[in-house]
Chains A and B, each alone.
Chain A
Amino acid sequence: MRAGAKLGLILLLMPLLLWLGLLIIVPHIDMFLVSIRERIGVGRYQISPANYLTFFTEPLYLVTFMRTALMSILTTAITLVIGFPVAFYIAKVAKGRLQSSLFLLCLVPFWVSELVRTFGWMILLRETGIFSSFLQWLGLVDGPVEMLYNDVAMIVGLVYTSMLFMVVPLVTTMESLDDSVIEAGYDLGGSNLSILREIVIPHAMPGIASGSIVVFMLSLGNYLTPTMLGGKDSLWFTELIYSQFIVRFNWELGAAFGFMLLILSSIIVWAMLKVTGQTLEKTMT
């Protein structure tokens, strides 16, 4: 009987273990091994930190690396600032049918692929696009305006892509806040601002942290949006990894970059949790 239960447990865990093992642990070990070898001749390799040294000595790599991190943090902050009132409205102000339809409206864009959504922004923002034509029609500008291929367009795209992942955890945590707690705040003399600061935000903190982590990770690892909407100067770190693997065929350096990205995102997430006083455990429930 006990042996049978044990076998059942193993079988149940099998898909998870296979998924973790084959798609995450094994590739990462392999990547790590690739990243710490250096080619010293045709088909001859030796273990060395050369790839990591290249990363730290080449300014382009470091600058792109830091830029990607800062832009992702900025994207996360903007998404939070836009998503918070939206989530508050959905969770606390809207009632009944309006509530579910607003929630659905947040979800609808995600029924089409990210590629199509990004093309949507290109249609809006390009030189011959809708915004440009509209401004010309209004007479505000003389000629066509190019709004694509810069950092602003890229951040707009990233924020748009990640909005849902911020709104959903925020709505979930804010729904669990009892209305009477907010009323008690007003009753005891609280202003809108103090209630937001002392009651709503502390309550929503786990949602803010988990939404921010997800949005930050998605932005940091995004390849499509920065490539399509960003300009020549808005090089994203994922593009560097891509070019090392596919264009330069330098798997060793690409693998090292991949590892640096993993370390960077882990450090920033850890720091975010520390700053907000949350634990990963609390955030994930």
Chain B
Amino acid sequence: MTTADLECLELSKRFGDFTAVDQVSFSVPSGTFFSILGPSGCGKTTIMRMVAGFLDPSSGDIQIKGKSVLDVAPNKRPVNMVFQHLALFPMMNIADNIGYGLRRQGLAKSEIARKVDEALDRIGLPGIGKRKVEELSGGQKQRVAIARCMVLEPDVLLLDEPLGALDLKLREHMKIELKSLQAAFDTTFVYITHDQSEALVMSDQIAVMNKGRFEQVGSGRDLYYRPQTAFVAGFVGESNRWRGKVTRSDAGGALQLTTEAGLVVTGADNGRGLAVGAEAQIFVRPEAIRISRKQDELAHFENRMVGKVQSLLFNGAASRAILRSEANGDDIEVTLPQSGEFADLTRGDDLHFGWSGEQANAFAVEAD
């Protein structure tokens, strides 16, 4: 196996009594798009700043291409960073912005000009070198900020929520563009974000971070379909969740949970070994729930309920309905199939709905 471009070993950072990053280890293989996804304040920016060299870790090691960079000052590290607000130099024009790092390396003027032009071609903005920073649109600035780093051919490019300041349409567009830029430059990207769709769309590998620790590292698909912790199940994607006590547990991993309201839900613990009597949480994705007008269509599901349509949330292909269960009044979110079958669904309609026990993921409730 080749050495990873970036490797963090038991990295920790403490600010006084507060542990921002707690024993985090990960490695990013060469040429991959690695994302760190987590809510604000989870410590992801702290990791980023440690890798860039603006913060010293309290303990642990950071290696780039197999060499520790702890003693290397930020301006000497083979790592570059695209800042949250891009931090383009407003006092310089675009070409000078992109050429800044090259000038610092002491390259000849003609060489710098050539590389800058090449970078501008690559980001699809040829001939804007003489323009001022404030004359560019949000998306163009974004690309210039990436080009400014990429001309230096860093081993790792760090991106600190660079899409946060853009409007929705542009953000969607930039997601695709970032991914293709990464492929074009063939460089390792480490991207941090609190927006799960950014992480899911662009990344090869995603680390979900919470309270200074990595909850799970895996592909987007892994995180979505096989979450290993309750936090990941709740944070990535939408879920209906119930909390209660385990009332039955089979050797095969199937179990039954009874909520305080008396609802019985069948689920699977996927090898987490929940014993009878344990406090547990069950997560069910809205798209895992089937709806039907006839009861017998759902006969093969372990979980079956009857409910009334409480409200319809139209959102194109991702339209949902909120159903109020007749048994105990719980509100359950369900994805509407787009086959046209339920196009005439209105508020107050009665529906049968159900889901298989395998689709209901159960986790032990951690003591807070």
Contact = CB atoms under 8 A, between A and B. Distances in A.
A194 interface: yes
Interface stretch (A18-26, A81-89, A197-205, A229-237): A197-205
A184 B81 contact: yes
Nearest to A188: B101
Interface residues of A, number: 17
Q: Is the interface of A mostly helix, strand, loop or mixed?
A: helix
B74 A203 contact: no
B100 A188 contact: yes
B74 A187 contact: yes
Given A183-B83, A199-B89, A188 B148 contact: yes
A187 B81 CA distance: 7
Interface of A: 178, 180-181, 183-191, 194, 198-199, 202-203
Contacts of B101: 188-190
Nearest to A189: B104
Nearest to A204: B91
B91 A183 contact: no
A180 B85 contact: yes
Contacts of B74: 183, 186-187
Contacts of A188: 75, 80, 100-101, 104, 148-149, 152
B84 A186 contact: no
Given A178-B87, A181-B87, A184-B88, 4 more contacts: A180-B84, A181-B90, A187-B52, A188-B75
Contacts of B104: 188-191, 194
Given A180-B87, A202-B91, A187 B80 contact: yes
A262 B79 CA distance: 55
B75 A191 contact: yes
B112 to A, nearest CB: 13
A203 B90 contact: yes
Please indicate which of the listed interface residues A178, A187, A199, A203 has the most CB atoms of chain B within 10 Å of its own CB: A187
Interface residues of B, number: 26
A203 to B, nearest CB: 6
A183 B53 CA distance: 10
A203 B80 contact: no
Nearest to B101: A188
Interface of B: 52-54, 73-76, 79-81, 83-85, 87-92, 100-101, 104-105, 148-149, 152
Contacts of A202: 91-92
12 contacts: A181-B88, A183-B54, A183-B83, A183-B87, A186-B54, A187-B75, A187-B79, A188-B101, A189-B104, A194-B104, A198-B92, A202-B92
B80 A199 contact: no
A186 B73 CA distance: 9
B85 to A, nearest CB: 6
A14 to B, nearest CB: 39
Contacts of A183: 52, 54, 74, 81, 83, 87
B5 to A, nearest CB: 17
A187 to B, nearest CB: 5
A184 B85 CA distance: 11
A202 B100 CA distance: 14
Contact of A189 (B76, B89, B90, B91): B76
A186 B75 contact: yes
B109 to A, nearest CB: 15
B89 A184 contact: yes
Contacts of B149: 187-188
A169 B90 CA distance: 19
A184 B79 CA distance: 11
Contacts of B148: 188
Contacts of A180: 83-85, 87
Contacts of B87: 178, 180-181, 183-184
A191 B101 CA distance: 11
Task: Report, nearest first, the 8 A-B pairs whose CB atoms are least far apart.
Answer: A188-B101, A202-B91, A184-B87, A189-B104, A180-B87, A180-B83, A181-B87, A186-B75
Nearest to A179: B87
B166 to A, nearest CB: 17
A203 B53 CA distance: 24
A202 B93 CA distance: 13
A203 B90 CA distance: 8
Contacts of B84: 180
Contacts of B83: 180, 183-184
Contacts of B152: 188-189
Contact of B75 (A178, A181, A189): A189
A52 B105 CA distance: 57
B100 A198 contact: yes
